[in-house]
Structure 1
Amino acid sequence: MALKRHGFLLSSLAVGVALGALALSIGFAAKAYPHDATPTAAMPQGWSYPFSCCSGFDCREVPDASIVEGARGYEIRVTHELIPMSDPRIKESPDGRFHWCSVAGAADGRTICLFVPPRSF
């Protein structure tokens, strides 16, 4: 009887270790693509944010209405931050949509990068 319990404990431990390893591998797999933009019609495979702009949670697509293009540059409506068109944080958006990268992904954070649609979109 003691051997059966011992064998059950060992097999339970093995299953636990296997499940833990699986959970870790899934967790790492989910984190393997933290810099990717959501696929769109223009870019069905999506695209990757440059590491210099994104630490895995800093960047996201934003509605056109949240960015105002003016003669002096781009205004981030939520923060009222004005980014001149010549600012190196301005990047051309591969999918023709606005993407905003802010410090720690905060809605009120300072802009790291702003991906803007090319004028042809």
Structure 2
Amino acid sequence: MRRVLVLCLLLSGCGPLSETHHRPGNSHQVATAAPSPGAPHADIAIAGGRVSPPSGWLEVRKGETVSLTVTSDVTDELHVHGYDVEAALTPGKPITVTIKADMTGVFEVETHGSKLVLIQLAVR
């Protein structure tokens, strides 16, 4: 029974995309522009298989807009769980993901290829 559960978890990956990924005009954006001044923001760099600053928490209030700027030294894919936001990472090119924090909970932000946890987004 335990082996079946582990196998199911391994095969499921990140799971299906939510409705926000299918509706045009949703509140999630991927851009190369700078984030809005005063909004919650984190700058994250990936180099040599390490995350800088080390993975931690970013706490925001429900309804706030949060921006994450990620720069990687390798090609990869960024994924914000729960919000189903994905963005391609190109070596040396910063990318900013902006999310309207409209769901409460803790949401992992990771890379798919290198399986690195970049930050935990805590929406209260």
Give the TM-score, by structure 2 length.
0.27
Greater helix share, structure number: 1
Give the TM-score, by structure 1 length.
0.28
Which structure's CA Rg is the greater one?
Answer: 1
